[in-house]
Chain A
Amino acid sequence: MAELWEVLSEHLPEFSSGLWVTIRLVAFSFVIAMVVGTLVAALRVAPLGPLNWIGGVFVETFRNTPLLVLLFVSFAGLRRAGVPIDPWVAGTASLGLYTAAYVAEALRSGVFAVGRGQIEASLSLGLDYPRTLRYVVLPQAFRTVIPHLGSLTIAMIKNSAIIGVSLLALPDLLHQARLVNSRTFATNESFFWAAAGYLLLTGLATLAVRRLEARYAIRR
């Protein structure tokens, strides 16, 4: 028990810098996932066949490929091919696009929950299709799928650990815990603190989602 606190107090800088890297990774990926996910969802519900198809290919590709493969392709693969990609770009883009595919699917189901009648009403009021999406459909779709987006965010926090393992230039929480472990041989202690960090992040995210849900969510 004493050793548990000793490991934390002696290696606090490592753990806190790892936690900070994890938070930044998740934050950047979150922005990418939401923006790209919304665009792809718009493609998937667009009234044009080819656009649907492009959105579908995006979703099926990124949702069914392991994140580790995406990271290999986007970093080592591109580097080997002569593209000097930054590890931050490769890491957040991989995690962001991977999650974007799920976000797009969630939003699509939210859009379908809005109902045809509203879309038709908005179109007959003279709004064009992008405006209908922007002002009528998406605001409601987002609110319908808040719980869904929340669990995707939590999944993203967990998946960010994969980035730290495969891209050594990004020393996230898990990476730092492994470093501390290799220096102190206190496996249980160093992994305990990393677990505490991850549970803290996922716990906070869960609470935040519950708050948002209570305030904005639409029950259907």
Chain B
Amino acid sequence: MGYLFDPSNWEWLTSGNNLRFLLEGFLVNVEIAAIAIVFSLACGLVLALARLSKLRPLGVAAGVWVDVWRNLPLIFIILYLALALPEPWKDAYESVVPSFFPEALQSGRVFAGILGLVLYNSAVIAEIMRAGILSLDRGQGEAAASLGLSYPQQLRYVILPQGLRRMVPATVSQLITLNKDTTLVSIIAIEEVMRHGRTLSSGFTAFVGGVPAPLLQVFVFIGLLFVITNLALSRLSRRLEIRERERTAGTAGPVSGLEDQVALATEAR
């Protein structure tokens, strides 16, 4: 404890541009998370609808797809993609990535990381969304159909607004997990906060005459960055949840927000 809080072990934080270096790395994580979140939500919705589709083969195929990707370790998926992704795909990514993106996001390697995050998280989110849609009373869809709405219209105006709203807390907690999981792309040599932390604590700063940055303190600080961001996210989600419950007059049950809420929601159906 004495070692952890010894002020001389924290001097690195204010010396030179160490703090800025770490925050720049953290920004890369936030950007990767943002990109992955957008695509995971979109693909998750498509997968959930495919799985609920009345077309039997499509439903089965989507089910197998979702069950395989969400039961594999994310780190496994990322490592595999980094090794096995065809070069043309990476080149294609490099040619479409906007030039205003930071340098760390320009390389084709980052595509493997983002693709892995999207494959895994879209599968998990598809299950959450499916559970949300299934938790709706059958009558809702039937009533909409008998009013003459087509299937896409039923989805658009009746089923999705209610079903997805119920699953906001579970989705947000999965997005928090996604945010933490962006650190995994450091394994495939993408310069984000973990890599920057390792560079800082490698002894290099002391070598060039600066203050040594102890590894323990550097990574405790990085952990703190994530705790602050994720707490802010979960506060936001809780506020949304309370607002929703007020608006929908308490029909939505409280959801504590854990990965794979799905199991609970689908089993309790």
Give residues in A with beta carbon < 8 Å to B.
60-61, 63-70, 72-73, 76-78, 80-82, 102, 105-106, 108-109, 147-148, 150-152, 154-155, 157-162, 165, 174, 178, 181, 187-188, 191, 194-195, 198-199, 202-203, 206, 209, 213, 217, 219-220
Contacts and interface: CB of A to CB of B under 8 A. Distances in A.
B124 to A, nearest CB: 10
By CB atoms of chain B within 10 A, which of A68, A155, A159 has the most? A68
Contacts of A160: 73
B194 A105 contact: no
Contact of A64 (B214, B227, B264): B227
B157 interface: no
B99 to A, nearest CB: 29
Q: Is the interface of B mostly helix, strand, loop or mixed?
A: helix
A193 to B, nearest CB: 12
Nearest to A68: B183
Given A81-B3, A150-B263, A181-B83, A161 B222 contact: no
A165 B187 contact: yes
Interface in B156-192: 176, 180-181, 183-184, 186-187
B258 interface: yes
5 contacts: A73-B220, A106-B258, A108-B256, A158-B73, A199-B68
A165 B101 CA distance: 29
A152 B177 CA distance: 13
Contacts of A219: 268
A168 to B, nearest CB: 12
Contacts of B176: 64
Interface string B181-208: 1011011000000100100010000000
Interface in B210-269: 214-216, 219-220, 222-223, 226-227, 230-231, 234, 254, 256-260, 262-264, 267-268
A102 B183 CA distance: 19
Contact of B216 (A80, A102, A157): A80
Contacts of A220: 268
Contact of B264 (A73, A102, A105, A148): A148
Contacts of A199: 68, 71-72
Nearest to A109: B256
B227 A159 contact: no
Contacts of A198: 71-73, 76
Given A155-B260, A165-B187, A194 B216 contact: no
B263 to A, nearest CB: 4
Given A81-B216, A155-B259, A162-B73, A65 B187 contact: no
A178 to B, nearest CB: 7
B73 A174 contact: yes
B55 interface: no
A162 B226 contact: no
B223 A69 contact: yes
A66 B181 contact: yes
Contact of A151 (B75, B197, B260): B260
A151 B258 contact: yes
Given A151-B260, A195-B76, A80 B215 contact: yes
Contacts of A106: 256, 258
B83 A187 contact: yes
For the complex of A and B, list the 5 residue pairs with the smallest distance between their C-beta atoms, beginning with the closest. Answer: A77-B216, A151-B260, A161-B73, A64-B230, A66-B180
Contact of A72 (B73, B80, B219, B256): B219
Contacts of A65: 180, 223, 226-227
Nearest to A145: B264
A76 B222 CA distance: 14
B79 A165 contact: yes
Contacts of B201: 80
A165 B186 CA distance: 11
A194 B201 CA distance: 33
Contact of B214 (A66, A81, A151): A81
Contact of B258 (A66, A105, A157, A206): A105
By CB atoms of chain A within 10 A, which of B80, B197, B260 has the most? B80
Contact of B231 (A60, A68, A155): A60
A77 B214 CA distance: 8
B84 interface: yes
Given A81-B3, A106-B258, A152-B258, A69 B219 contact: yes
Contacts of B223: 61, 65-66, 69-70, 73
Contact of B186 (A68, A152, A206): A68
